[in-house]
Structure 1
């Protein structure tokens, strides 16, 4: 889908759903990673992540456009346009717009390969850590006693 077709779609959705004209620019922004789209406060333009259309199709794209148009029209009218504002939430409900878009990128989870257990030599308080710590540098938080490495476990 081209930027021109996106602009036509935004204008059509604005006219049909909101009953108001969209008078600024709408275009795809390849650099958006985690968000479906964004409304620019200063220029009033709308940027859309092309992954929304590629991964989820037209229905999700229209949902993101409606969400951004909620920001747009409320901001133009001088009403509460932020996610936390009652005006914004109410307009989302009346236009049946989504509050969030679907996940665009899969987040990488870091696997923990070791666990370390330290114990205070004075008060016997134990500390579990993911990362090894320098026992010469750190002390017990309760009694300021010396820490000793009790065990390190390999997890896989």
Structure 2
């Protein structure tokens, strides 16, 4: 599916579910990682994550488009378009759009690795850090005793 097809699909869904035209641009954004799509307030354009279409199919993509169209139409009508607003929640229910999209399984979750481990010489509290700490300058935040590197 290409951007022209996405534009046409968004325009069709907008007329079908909202009775209002979509007058801006809809496209895929390959840089999106943690979200299915986003509505841009400044330009009123919609960007969609292509990975959701590839992994979950057209039905999940339609749900994401409906979600973003809820933001779009409410914002243009000067109503509550944010996730916590009642207008937004009501419109989501009315059109059957999901509040959240399914998680992607193809994206690897980042694991946090710690290079440095410190222990307080007073209370024994351990501290895990990615960056090195100057143990001559810093002390334990709990008991103010000096730290030692493990």
Shorter-chain TM-score bucket reads 0.7 to 0.9
Larger CA Rg, structure 1 vs 2: 1
Return 5+ residue gaps in structure 2 as ranges.
none
Query: Equivalents in 2 of 1:34, 1:144: separation in Å?
Result: 40
Gap change, CA 1:27 and 1:140, over 3 Å in 2:
closer
> Which residue does the alignment assign to 1:7?
7
Match for residue 108 of structure 2 among 106, 109, 119: 106
Q: TM-score by structure 1 length?
A: 0.79
> Which residue does the alignment assign to 1:42?
42
Stretches of 4+ moved more than 6 A in 1?
A: none
Aligned pairs, number: 146
The C-alpha deviation readout for 1:20-53, integer Å capped at 9, x for no partner, is 2212221111222222111122222111111111
Q: Which has the higher contact order (CA 8 A, sep 6+)?
A: 1
Deviation at 1:118, TM superposition (A): 2.3
> Which residue does the alignment assign to 2:127?
129
Return 5+ residue gaps in structure 1 as ranges.
none
Q: CA RMSD in A?
A: 2.3
Query: Equivalents in 2 of 1:116, 1:5: separation in Å?
Result: 55
1:130 is paired with a residue whose SS is strand
Q: TM-score by structure 2 length?
A: 0.82
> Which residue does the alignment assign to 1:16?
16
